[in-house]
Structure 1
Protein backbone atom coordinates (compact mmCIF):
# COMPACT_ATOMS: atom_id res chain seq x y z
CA UNK A 1 0.00 0.00 0.00
CA UNK A 2 2.88 2.24 0.75
CA UNK A 3 4.40 2.12 -2.77
CA UNK A 4 1.04 3.12 -4.29
CA UNK A 5 0.85 6.22 -2.09
CA UNK A 6 4.34 7.22 -3.25
CA UNK A 7 3.16 7.24 -6.87
CA UNK A 8 -0.24 8.80 -6.23
CA UNK A 9 0.91 11.73 -4.06
CA UNK A 10 3.05 13.42 -6.74
CA UNK A 11 0.34 12.93 -9.35
CA UNK A 12 -2.32 14.40 -7.04
CA UNK A 13 -0.03 17.31 -6.22
CA UNK A 14 0.33 18.13 -9.92
CA UNK A 15 -3.38 17.80 -10.63
CA UNK A 16 -4.55 19.72 -7.58
CA UNK A 17 -1.85 22.34 -8.02
CA UNK A 18 -3.31 23.27 -11.38
CA UNK A 19 -6.84 23.40 -9.97
CA UNK A 20 -5.75 25.58 -7.06
CA UNK A 21 -3.83 27.91 -9.35
CA UNK A 22 -6.79 28.20 -11.71
CA UNK A 23 -9.11 28.93 -8.78
CA UNK A 24 -6.78 31.60 -7.41
CA UNK A 25 -6.47 33.29 -10.80
CA UNK A 26 -10.23 33.09 -11.30
CA UNK A 27 -10.90 34.62 -7.89
CA UNK A 28 -8.35 37.38 -8.47
CA UNK A 29 -9.77 38.39 -11.86
CA UNK A 30 -13.46 38.08 -10.94
CA UNK A 31 -13.81 41.67 -9.61
CA UNK A 32 -12.16 43.06 -12.74
CA UNK A 33 -14.47 41.05 -15.01
CA UNK A 34 -17.51 42.08 -12.98
CA UNK A 35 -16.50 45.75 -13.10
CA UNK A 36 -16.01 45.63 -16.86
CA UNK A 37 -19.47 44.08 -17.29
CA UNK A 38 -21.03 46.86 -15.21
CA UNK A 39 -19.23 49.50 -17.25
CA UNK A 40 -20.41 47.82 -20.45
CA UNK A 41 -24.01 47.72 -19.23
CA UNK A 42 -24.02 51.35 -18.06
CA UNK A 43 -22.32 52.95 -21.04
CA UNK A 44 -23.73 53.45 -24.51
CA UNK A 45 -21.58 52.38 -27.41
CA UNK A 46 -21.13 54.72 -30.37
CA UNK A 47 -23.17 52.37 -32.52
CA UNK A 48 -26.06 52.42 -30.03
CA UNK A 49 -25.86 56.21 -29.79
CA UNK A 50 -25.92 56.53 -33.60
CA UNK A 51 -28.98 54.27 -33.87
CA UNK A 52 -30.81 56.24 -31.18
CA UNK A 53 -29.93 59.53 -32.86
CA UNK A 54 -31.23 58.18 -36.18
CA UNK A 55 -34.51 57.13 -34.54
CA UNK A 56 -34.89 60.55 -32.91
CA UNK A 57 -34.26 62.34 -36.22
CA UNK A 58 -36.86 60.14 -37.95
CA UNK A 59 -39.39 60.94 -35.20
CA UNK A 60 -38.75 64.67 -35.68
CA UNK A 61 -39.02 64.37 -39.47
CA UNK A 62 -42.34 62.54 -39.15
CA UNK A 63 -43.65 65.11 -36.67
CA UNK A 64 -42.55 67.96 -38.93
CA UNK A 65 -44.26 66.34 -41.91
CA UNK A 66 -47.54 65.93 -40.00
CA UNK A 67 -47.37 69.53 -38.76
CA UNK A 68 -46.76 70.87 -42.26
CA UNK A 69 -49.71 68.89 -43.65
CA UNK A 70 -51.99 70.13 -40.88
CA UNK A 71 -50.68 73.68 -41.34
CA UNK A 72 -51.59 73.65 -45.04
CA UNK A 73 -55.14 72.59 -44.19
CA UNK A 74 -55.44 75.28 -41.52
CA UNK A 75 -54.03 77.86 -43.91
CA UNK A 76 -56.70 76.99 -46.48
CA UNK A 77 -59.42 77.24 -43.83
CA UNK A 78 -57.96 80.56 -42.69
CA UNK A 79 -58.05 81.92 -46.24
CA UNK A 80 -61.69 80.83 -46.40
CA UNK A 81 -62.43 83.10 -43.41
CA UNK A 82 -62.14 80.77 -40.38
CA UNK A 83 -60.58 82.91 -37.61
CA UNK A 84 -59.96 79.98 -35.26
CA UNK A 85 -58.05 78.20 -38.05
CA UNK A 86 -55.92 81.33 -38.43
CA UNK A 87 -55.06 81.31 -34.72
CA UNK A 88 -54.28 77.59 -34.80
CA UNK A 89 -52.15 78.07 -37.92
CA UNK A 90 -50.07 80.72 -36.11
CA UNK A 91 -49.42 78.36 -33.19
CA UNK A 92 -48.63 75.50 -35.54
CA UNK A 93 -46.24 77.69 -37.57
CA UNK A 94 -44.42 78.55 -34.33
CA UNK A 95 -44.06 74.85 -33.52
CA UNK A 96 -42.79 74.15 -37.05
CA UNK A 97 -40.25 76.97 -36.76
CA UNK A 98 -39.11 75.59 -33.42
CA UNK A 99 -38.79 72.00 -34.72
CA UNK A 100 -37.25 72.68 -38.14
CA UNK A 101 -33.67 73.51 -36.95
CA UNK A 102 -33.43 70.13 -35.21
CA UNK A 103 -34.16 68.20 -38.42
CA UNK A 104 -31.10 67.83 -40.67
CA UNK A 105 -31.45 68.85 -44.29
CA UNK A 106 -30.41 66.35 -46.94
CA UNK A 107 -28.70 67.83 -49.97
CA UNK A 108 -30.08 67.14 -53.43
CA UNK A 109 -27.02 66.04 -55.39
CA UNK A 110 -28.41 65.47 -58.88
CA UNK A 111 -25.01 65.86 -60.58
Structure 2
Protein backbone atom coordinates (compact mmCIF):
# COMPACT_ATOMS: atom_id res chain seq x y z
CA UNK A 1 0.00 0.00 0.00
CA UNK A 2 1.45 3.36 -0.96
CA UNK A 3 2.14 5.71 1.93
CA UNK A 4 1.03 8.87 0.16
CA UNK A 5 -2.74 8.22 0.17
CA UNK A 6 -2.50 7.15 3.79
CA UNK A 7 -0.78 10.45 4.68
CA UNK A 8 -3.39 12.43 2.81
CA UNK A 9 -6.09 10.76 4.87
CA UNK A 10 -4.31 11.07 8.24
CA UNK A 11 -2.80 14.54 7.79
CA UNK A 12 -5.98 16.52 8.47
CA UNK A 13 -6.65 14.42 11.54
CA UNK A 14 -3.12 14.88 12.85
CA UNK A 15 -3.04 18.62 12.19
CA UNK A 16 -6.55 19.20 13.51
CA UNK A 17 -5.39 19.40 17.11
CA UNK A 18 -2.53 21.70 16.20
CA UNK A 19 -4.81 24.02 14.26
CA UNK A 20 -7.35 24.07 17.06
CA UNK A 21 -4.63 24.90 19.56
CA UNK A 22 -3.36 27.74 17.39
CA UNK A 23 -6.89 29.07 16.88
CA UNK A 24 -7.53 28.95 20.61
CA UNK A 25 -4.32 30.88 21.28
CA UNK A 26 -5.26 33.53 18.71
CA UNK A 27 -8.80 33.92 20.07
CA UNK A 28 -7.79 34.12 23.74
CA UNK A 29 -4.79 36.46 23.25
CA UNK A 30 -6.84 39.72 23.26
CA UNK A 31 -8.73 38.57 26.34
CA UNK A 32 -5.49 37.83 28.20
CA UNK A 33 -4.04 41.19 27.13
CA UNK A 34 -7.14 43.01 28.39
CA UNK A 35 -6.87 41.15 31.69
CA UNK A 36 -3.27 42.28 32.14
CA UNK A 37 -4.25 45.89 31.40
CA UNK A 38 -7.15 45.71 33.86
CA UNK A 39 -4.98 44.21 36.62
CA UNK A 40 -2.35 46.88 36.04
CA UNK A 41 -4.88 49.72 36.03
CA UNK A 42 -6.70 48.65 39.18
CA UNK A 43 -5.43 47.75 42.61
CA UNK A 44 -7.03 45.61 45.26
CA UNK A 45 -7.83 46.82 48.75
CA UNK A 46 -4.89 44.80 50.05
CA UNK A 47 -2.51 46.51 47.63
CA UNK A 48 -3.88 49.91 48.64
CA UNK A 49 -3.39 49.06 52.33
CA UNK A 50 0.19 47.97 51.66
CA UNK A 51 0.94 51.23 49.83
CA UNK A 52 -0.65 53.29 52.60
CA UNK A 53 1.35 51.44 55.28
CA UNK A 54 4.59 51.87 53.34
CA UNK A 55 3.94 55.61 52.93
CA UNK A 56 3.19 55.95 56.66
CA UNK A 57 6.41 54.12 57.61
CA UNK A 58 8.46 56.28 55.28
CA UNK A 59 6.90 59.46 56.69
CA UNK A 60 7.62 58.27 60.23
CA UNK A 61 11.23 57.42 59.37
CA UNK A 62 11.67 60.81 57.72
CA UNK A 63 10.26 62.57 60.80
CA UNK A 64 12.63 60.61 63.06
CA UNK A 65 15.63 61.53 60.87
CA UNK A 66 14.62 65.17 60.91
CA UNK A 67 14.19 65.10 64.70
CA UNK A 68 17.65 63.52 65.17
CA UNK A 69 19.20 66.10 62.85
CA UNK A 70 17.43 68.95 64.67
CA UNK A 71 18.70 67.64 68.03
CA UNK A 72 22.22 67.32 66.61
CA UNK A 73 22.06 70.88 65.24
CA UNK A 74 20.74 72.16 68.59
CA UNK A 75 23.62 70.54 70.50
CA UNK A 76 26.14 71.87 68.03
CA UNK A 77 24.70 75.38 68.35
CA UNK A 78 24.76 75.06 72.15
CA UNK A 79 28.44 73.99 72.11
CA UNK A 80 29.29 76.85 69.78
CA UNK A 81 27.41 79.34 72.02
CA UNK A 82 29.31 78.12 75.09
CA UNK A 83 32.64 78.42 73.27
CA UNK A 84 31.77 81.92 72.18
CA UNK A 85 30.93 82.82 75.79
CA UNK A 86 34.18 81.33 76.99
CA UNK A 87 32.88 78.20 78.78
CA UNK A 88 35.21 75.71 77.03
TM range, normalised to the smaller chain?
0.5 to 0.7
**Structure with the larger helix share:** 2
Q: Once the 2 structures are TM-superposed, how far is the Cα of residue 70 of structure 1 from its aligned partner?
A: 4.6
The normalised TM-score by structure 1 is: 0.49
Residue 41 of structure 1 corresponds to: 40
RMSD: 2.8
Q: Deviations over 1:22-50 (max 9, x none)?
A: 11111111110110011122222334322
The normalised TM-score by structure 2 is: 0.59
Structure 1: gaps of 5 or more residues? 74-111
Q: Distance in 1 between matches of 2:46 and 2:21?
A: 36
- Following TM superposition, the consecutive aligned residue runs of length 4 or more in structure 1 with deviations greater than 4 angstroms are none
Residue 5 of structure 1 corresponds to: 4
User: Aligned with 2:43: secondary structure?
Assistant: coil
Residue 20 of structure 1 corresponds to: 19
Q: Once the 2 structures are TM-superposed, how far is the Cα of residue 58 of structure 1 from its aligned partner?
A: 1.3
Aligned length: 72
User: Aligned with 2:2: secondary structure?
Assistant: helix
Structure 2: gaps of 5 or more residues? 75-88
Q: Deviations over 1:3-37 (max 9, x none)?
A: 32221112211111111111111111111011001
